[in-house]
Structure 1
Amino acid sequence: MRIVVVSDTHMPKKAKQLPMILKRDLEDCDFIIHAGDWQTVDLYHHLLQYAPTIGVTGNVDGPELKSLLNLKEIFRAGDFRIGIVHGHGTGKTTEKRAIEAFAEDAVDCIIYGHSHIPVLKENNGVIIFNPGSPTDKRRQKEFSYGILTIGERIEAKHIFFEDKQ
């Protein structure tokens, strides 16, 4: 199973369309995970044209998205449970808030966004993954998104690129 992971797309404010490199991966995936800050519901409907899309709302998402999506999700992929949260809030770091959101849940991977900073690490046997942003790199050197490959284990990787066209 191949899952494309995105966050913080902020569309249409930061981009009118998804980058071509991302579109190519979307054409060949089984699921899409979006960790919030879509900005409008249009992107949600667009992603559904590629594959089933699981997502959460972020701090810039409006009422229409909030009526469709939750603040937190747990998605089952094969034998694994993937926690999804945006990570916004007060106090602590974004990563710590994301980890705490699943403190009472048995998950194998936590996906979060908000910071626009790509992260891939392990914490107490749980993969911690922030895909970064494919449209708003902020202070990062490159734009990014992620790919999860689900088999006998979860393999997570970032796709980094310089041009969001």
Structure 2
Amino acid sequence: MKFADLLTSCRASGDLGPMVQSIPYANFLDLRIDIKGDEFTCILPFEKKLIGNPVLPALHGGATGGFLECAGLFYLLWKMDTKTLPKTIDFNIDYLRTGQPRDTFANVVMVKLGRRVANLRIEAWQSSPDKPIALGHCNFMLDA
């Protein structure tokens, strides 16, 4: 199935699961998308393979960063009327707390939307949205 057809099908059903499965790294992370009305939450279910420091134990920074970037990407696919994958221009991560061995959640805020570039802030948290473990700031190139 072509990407545009898959995206249209996912939007019609309200289920981005097949889209997540079509992107290898998102599929590896086993990401979940929870959409309730206008509220978008991306979920990184905990798995032992995501541990980067077994002594603490702590989530791997690369898994956390990849999760943040994927959350931004899926948010744009859900929110925008696009037929192609947005392309990452830049991505910065602020690691604020140790990611514990449990499920992690991400909320996305559209900071600015231009004709060709979207600027997003992604907040990852575990116990409470008021205590983020990481923040992502990114720009995505949108299809023209």
TM-score norm. by structure 2 comes to 0.31
Q: Which has the higher strand share?
A: 2
Q: Which has the higher helix share?
A: 2
TM-score norm. by structure 1 comes to 0.28
**Which of the pair has the greater relative contact order for Cα pairs under 8 Å at 6+ separation?**
1
